[in-house]
Amino acid sequence: MSDAVLSQFKQEVVEEKKGFDKKIKVGIIGTGWIAESHIQSYLNQPDVEIVAACDLIPGKAQKKMEQFGVKNVRCYLSHKEMIDNEPDLDVVSVCTYNTQHAVTTIYALEHGLPVLLEKPFTVTTEEAVEIMRAEKKSGKIVSVGFQPRFDGNMQMIKKIVESGVLGDIYYIQTGGGRRRGIPGSTFIEKSTGGIGALGDIGCYSLDMVLNAIGYPKPLTVSGYISDFFGKNPKYNGEDAKRFSVDDFAAAFVRLEGGIILDFRIAWAMHVDTPGDTMIFGKEGALRIPSTDCWNGSVGGEMTLYHDICGKQAETKIPLVRSSGDLFDKKIRSFLDAAMNGGKAPVPTSQILYNQAIIDGINKSAAAGKEIEIEIPEI
Ligand SMILES: NC(=O)c1ccc[n+]([C@@H]2O[C@H](COP(=O)([O-])OP(=O)(O)OC[C@H]3O[C@@H](n4cnc5c(N)ncnc54)[C@H](O)[C@@H]3O)[C@@H](O)[C@H]2O)c1
């Protein structure tokens, strides 16, 4: 399934490359599966050299670099060891599992390094706030790795909302999921993944709609999580024994501006989809088909429902095919911003609200009631 997930981000024509005269020195923190996409996209840039990499597992970083034919890379056993020994690094990619996102990113920022951080932002809101405080202090950027942001279809959703054709937005249904698609590896344990489907793919659904409507602040949440599939050997085999995160989450969230967000996400369930994404406005509504392998992509042509001269009308929005690879775009936009002192392409100031909803769902589920979402000052 992993190839199927990533192949959705490979798109046809490669765009003309921009670049700096000086080679940008990159370090990779964590050399597991997603690091492969980072490495390949850095290799696709004309002005980048991967000079260092690290992984907690001995030999893993070296092996990964050999696999990609990257020469003269110094490999280390932790982010600390790498950063302490590499004073010339320009930027780092954080490709660790979720529970190491905060500690590694903060250490990099404290050493003056801009960070491209994989999604989800963190596990808790508190960690996200700590990262943002370190970011503010260092003056270096953190960009969160939501490559669907660079997809033309995702951008179309935002354009439609911003055009005003939907009028004021008052209700959003979003989410998605897989009938059976529980990952294995480090995703399913609390000590590494920290959160399950809620963080892994829920963050994409939230970003799809919150980015479109300008990331309003979340105010309250009534959340629910469960693990009926992950913990059951009938559905999850041997992995059921070590499964300690959620495989399903649902929530009712109130956002600033009187907008209601109705959310559900699943790594596994007994239906094919928990529903399409729908954005209801006072003047129109947009239906965005879900996919059976939910990872933040648009599943088919979208439909805009509106009235024309008193008649109900439906306009189909065909899927667009963006040029270039979304991972290349995520990496290029980060490098350009980091090296030019620009703003992060996917800034923490937005994704903080994404994380606060995820964390709020967990906290509300534990409390068994609706809670207020509290976000500390940065
Ligand atoms: N953007 C995407 O499309 C996408 C897709 C898959 C995964 N991800 C995200 O990427 C992250 C990693 O996922 P993965 O599948 O590659 O996980 P993985 O478990 O395969 O790889 C993570 C690696 O990080 C290493 N690591 C952990 N802490 C470290 C530290 N302090 N220093 C050095 N190495 C450390 C681990 O040993 C492991 O090898 C997750 O947060 C996941 O949500 C993003």
First-to-final CA distance of the chain: 39
209 with 252, same domain: the answer is: yes
The phi, psi pair for 376, rounded to 5°, reads -60, 155
Ligand 1 atom closest to Cα of 103?
A: 31
Residue 355 lies in a domain: no
Pocket test for ligand 1, best of 74, 97, 107, 200 (most atoms within 8 A of CB): 97
Residue 75 lies in a domain: yes
In terms of C-beta density within 10 A (0-12 exposed, 13-18 middle, 19 or more buried), how is residue 272 classed?
A: exposed
168 with 144, same domain: the answer is: no
Verify whether ligand 1 is closer than 6 Å to residue 191 (CB atom): no
Residues 44-65, mean pLDDT to the nearest whole number: 98
For residue 240, pLDDT over 90 is answered with yes
161 with 36, same domain: the answer is: no
Look up residue 28 and give its DSSP letter. Answer: E
Indicate the average pLDDT of the chain: 94
Express each pLDDT in 204-213 by its tens digit.
Answer: 999 999 999 9
90 with 7, same domain: the answer is: yes
Verify whether ligand 1 is closer than 6 Å to residue 149 (CB atom): no
Residue 202 lies in a domain: yes
- Please tell me the distance from the alpha carbon of residue 200 to that of residue 192, in angstroms, as a whole number: 12
Residue 159 lies in a domain: yes
Pocket test for ligand 1, best of 2, 29, 34, 144 (most atoms within 8 A of CB): 34
275, 300, 320 - which closes a domain: 320
Residue 367 lies in a domain: no
Residues 227-255, mean pLDDT to the nearest whole number: 98
For residue 172, pLDDT over 80 is answered with yes
32 with 136, same domain: the answer is: yes
For residue 4, pLDDT over 70 is answered with no
Express each pLDDT in 277-301 by its tens digit.
Answer: 999 999 999 999 988 766 778 999 9
CATH number at residue 341: 3.40.50.720
Ligand 1 atom closest to Cα of 186?
A: 19
How many whole angstroms from 123 Cα to the centroid of ligand 1?
13
Cβ atoms 203, 362 nearer than 8 A: no
Ligand 1 atom closest to Cα of 6?
A: 3
CATH number at residue 290: 3.30.360.10
Q: What is the pLDDT of residue 274?
A: 87
Verify whether ligand 1 is closer than 6 Å to residue 99 (CB atom): no
Q: State how beta strands 259-266 and 115-118 pair.
A: unpaired
208 with 262, same domain: the answer is: yes
How many whole angstroms from 321 Cα to the centroid of ligand 1?
29
Residue 361 lies in a domain: no
Residues 126-149, mean pLDDT to the nearest whole number: 97
320, 335, 357 - which closes a domain: 320
Report residue 2's pLDDT band, with 50, 70 and 90 as the boundaries.
very low
How many whole angstroms from 157 Cα to the centroid of ligand 1?
29
302 with 207, same domain: the answer is: yes
Residues 328-338, mean pLDDT to the nearest whole number: 98
- Please tell me the distance from the alpha carbon of residue 268 to that of residue 247, in angstroms, as a whole number: 6
Report residue 324's pLDDT band, with 50, 70 and 90 as the boundaries.
confident
Q: Which residue has the higher pLDDT, 198 or 20?
A: 198
109 with 238, same domain: the answer is: no
Which residue has its alpha carbon closest to ligand 1 atom 33? 55
Q: State how beta strands 259-266 and 277-281 pair.
A: unpaired
Residue 228 lies in a domain: yes
What's the domain range around 298?
A: 152-320
211 with 313, same domain: the answer is: yes
80 with 168, same domain: the answer is: no
Q: What is the pLDDT of residue 294?
A: 65
107 with 240, same domain: the answer is: no
Which residue has its alpha carbon closest to ligand 1 atom 21? 32
For residue 140, pLDDT over 80 is answered with yes
Residue 232's CB is within 10 A of a number of other CB atoms, namely: 14
Rounded to whole angstroms, what are the CA distances from 72 to 20, 42, 69, 83?
A: 21, 15, 10, 17
Single out the residue of 178, 311, 313, 301 nearest to residue 248, CA to CA.
178
320, 339, 365 - which closes a domain: 320
What's the order of all strands across the beta sheet hosting 115-118? Answer: 74-76, 48-54, 24-29, 91-94, 115-118, 142-145
Residue 36 lies in a domain: yes
How many whole angstroms from 34 Cα to the centroid of ligand 1?
6
How many whole angstroms from 200 Cα to the centroid of ligand 1?
12
Buried b (16+ CB within 10 A) or exposed e, 95-126: bbbbbbbbbbbbbbbebebbbbbbbbbbbbbe
Domain count, the chain: 2
How many whole angstroms from 33 Cα to the centroid of ligand 1?
7
For residue 227, pLDDT over 70 is answered with yes
Alpha helices by DSSP H, the chain = 2-7, 33-43, 60-67, 79-85, 101-110, 125-138, 152-163, 197-200, 202-212, 233-236, 326-340, 348-367
Residues 322-337, mean pLDDT to the nearest whole number: 94
- Please tell me the distance from the alpha carbon of residue 152 to that of residue 192, in angstroms, as a whole number: 33
How many whole angstroms from 226 Cα to the centroid of ligand 1?
24
210 with 71, same domain: the answer is: no
Instruction: State which amino acid sits at residue 308.
Output: I
